[in-house]
Amino acid sequence: MKFVVSFSAGKDSMLALHEMVEAGHEPAALLVMYRQEAGRSWVHGVDPELLAAIGEALAIPLIRCNANSDTYNGDMERGLRQARDLGAEACVFGDIDTPGHREWDEARCAAAGLKAVLPLWRRDRIDAVLKTLELGYQCLIKCVRRDILPEQWLGQPLNAGHVKQMLAWGVDACGESGEYHTVVTGGPLFRHPVPIKNCGLVFLDQVIAADLVLDKGTE
């Protein structure tokens, strides 16, 4: 089956992509929802040059779908129809266990004539994040909520030590409620790691983010 991934460039969407490929399915595209006025992707705040480099390293076409808050549902459906035109039969999501998220995923796909597939659904959250790390994916901590996690973690590779510390603090180690977000820059599906440099901090709504950009000096 050919599929498109609702792709945040973070660990959960990457694990969902990995499991679909491992099961023998073919990725048709990565669908990234893009906030044009901010010049970054929604939620994770990844800039277009880095998004393009990640798509190139994965050798999967990237659909960058401009979206506004008041038209987001329709914008997503437009991106899904574009993926359908590329041969996708389904859209894959990295959601784990929030019922409202699944309902939203299924509604958008139904409107676009695609099937919604959630490979991580009902997965143990800790198992999901640790499996991503054990597979060898390089997940950099991109955003944190400052009232929950230390900003000193920004730009660091996520590791088992971070997971252990979050559990000790009573924080969801998967970040399913937006406690933190990651960007994945290397791992089994990548043809090569994506070189990154950290240009400081940026503020995105309720989170603070590392301004991680493509490091052209290593190309």
The band of 7, judged by pLDDT with boundaries at 50, 70 and 90, is very high
pLDDT tens column, 143-186: 999 889 999 999 999 999 999 999 999 999 999 888 999 999 99
CA–CA distances in Å: residue 7 to residues 94, 165, 171, 216: 8, 27, 24, 23
Q: What angle do CA 55, 184, 122 make, to 5 degrees?
A: 105
pTM: 0.94
pLDDT tens column, 68-115: 889 999 999 999 999 999 999 999 999 998 889 999 999 999 999 999
pLDDT for 73 equals: 95
For 151-202, give the DSSP string.
Answer: GGGTTSBP-HHHHHHHHHTT--TT-TTSSEEEEEEESTT-SSPPPEEEEEEE
Read off the pLDDT of each residue in 52-67 and give the average, rounded to a whole number. 96
pLDDT for 144 equals: 95
- The 8-class DSSP code of residue 70 comes to G
pLDDT for 42 equals: 85
Distance between alpha carbon 121 and the CA centroid of its chain, in Å?
16
pLDDT for 45 equals: 84
CA–CA distances in Å: residue 69 to residues 34, 36, 102, 104: 11, 11, 19, 15
For 88-149, give the DSSP string.
Answer: --EEE----S-HHHHHHHHHHHHHHT-EEE-TTTT--HHHHHHHHHHTT-EEEEEEE-TTTS
Residue 143 has phi, psi (to 5 degrees) of -140, 150
pLDDT for 218 equals: 54
Whether residue 219 has pLDDT greater than 80: no
User: Is residue 69 classed exposed, middle or buried when 0-12, 13-18 and 19+ CB atoms within 10 A define those classes?
Assistant: exposed
Closest CA to 36 of 70, 4, 67, 69: 67
pLDDT for 39 equals: 76
Averaged confidence pLDDT in the chain:
94
CA–CA distances in Å: residue 156 to residues 161, 162, 174: 12, 10, 16
Torsion of CA 107, 83, 51, 178, to 10 degrees: 10
pLDDT for 142 equals: 95
Distance between alpha carbon 109 and the CA centroid of its chain, in Å?
18
